[in-house]
Amino acid sequence: MKQDKKEDDELETTFVLLKPDAIERALVGDIIARFERKGLKLVRAEMRVVSKELAARHYAHLVGKPFYPKIEAFITRGPVLATAWRGRDAIDVVRRLVGATDAALAEPGTIRGDWACLYTENLVHASDSPDAARRELANFFPNDPEFGER
Ligand code: ADP
């Protein structure tokens, strides 16, 4: 149980990336609906293709791992939808809606649990901390007056 319960008007903003498999499999509407119905507000959305440079910045903690080339090939292979969501405790709320990284183990009822069963192709990325959210929003929305400043 969390001790630092957030007030209803204490809003957080988090970053969610709908990965190429979400676009290819036409799951964008379903995924966005999950966040909206939970009560989160979509505040930014931009479709783009991730360059190798952006992939390396976003996955800096994984560059150099044996499986990094596979992640890079996947995340750069087609358009993604970069989004920002706002709401009470948004970072943790979104992580719970998304489910475990290994989609085969993700609980039914979560996005990965219902619609994915691979490890690399797991439909979405979501920030796991306030620092990660700030960094990732700046990486994907560098020209945005709210998120672009580091
Ligand atoms: P999350 O996306 O849940 O925050 P990570 O940041 O650890 O998880 O990993 C980023 C992404 O890299 C994962 O969502 C997954 O697509 C991929 N990935 C991580 N570890 C592996 C691995 N061992 N083999 C293949 N893909 C991996």
Q: Is the pLDDT of residue 2 over 70?
A: no
Asked whether residue 149 is domain-assigned, the answer is no
Asked whether residue 9 is domain-assigned, the answer is no
Please indicate whether residue 125 is annotated as part of the active site. yes
CATH number of 76's domain = 3.30.70.141
Domain extent, residue 48, equals: 17-140
Please tell me the predicted confidence (pLDDT) of residue 150.
53
Asked whether residue 32 is domain-assigned, the answer is yes
Asked whether residue 12 is domain-assigned, the answer is no
pLDDT tier for residue 1 given thresholds of 50, 70 and 90: low
Residue 146 CA to residue 97 CA, distance in Å, equals 25
Asked whether residue 1 is domain-assigned, the answer is no
pLDDT tier for residue 10 given thresholds of 50, 70 and 90: confident
Asked whether residue 11 is domain-assigned, the answer is no
* 75, 120, 131, best to mutate for ligand 1 pocket (most atoms within 8 Å of CB): 120
Which residue's entry shows tokens 């979405």? 124
Closest Cα to atom 7 of ligand 1: 101
Share of the chain above pLDDT 90, in %: 91
Please tell me the predicted confidence (pLDDT) of residue 3.
59
Q: Is the pLDDT of residue 9 over 90?
A: no
- Nearest partner of 42 among 66, 18, 13, judged by Cα: 13
Q: Which residue blocks in 10-129 are alpha helix, DSSP H?
A: 20-24, 28-38, 52-58, 68-75, 90-98, 111-115
Q: How far is the CA of 150 from the centre of ligand 1 (A)?
A: 25
CA angle 114, 61, 143 (to 5 degrees): 85
Please tell me the predicted confidence (pLDDT) of residue 50.
98
Q: Classify the C-alpha dihedral 145-31-76-128 as positive or negative.
A: positive
Number of residues written out for the chain: 150
* 14, 62, 98, 129, best to mutate for ligand 1 pocket (most atoms within 8 Å of CB): 62
pTM: 0.94
CA angle 101, 107, 112 (to 5 degrees): 50
Residue 71 CA to residue 9 CA, distance in Å, equals 37
Please tell me the predicted confidence (pLDDT) of residue 149.
66
pLDDT in tens, 50-99: 999 999 999 999 999 999 999 999 999 999 999 999 999 999 999 999 99
Please tell me the predicted confidence (pLDDT) of residue 110.
98
Active-site entry in 19, 58, 125, 135: 125
* Average pLDDT rounded to a whole number, residues 88-113: 98
Task: Give me the number of domains the chain comprises.
Answer: 1
Please tell me the predicted confidence (pLDDT) of residue 6.
85
Q: Does the Cβ of 125 fall within 6 Å of ligand 1?
A: yes
Asked whether residue 8 is domain-assigned, the answer is no
Closest Cα to atom 3 of ligand 1: 101
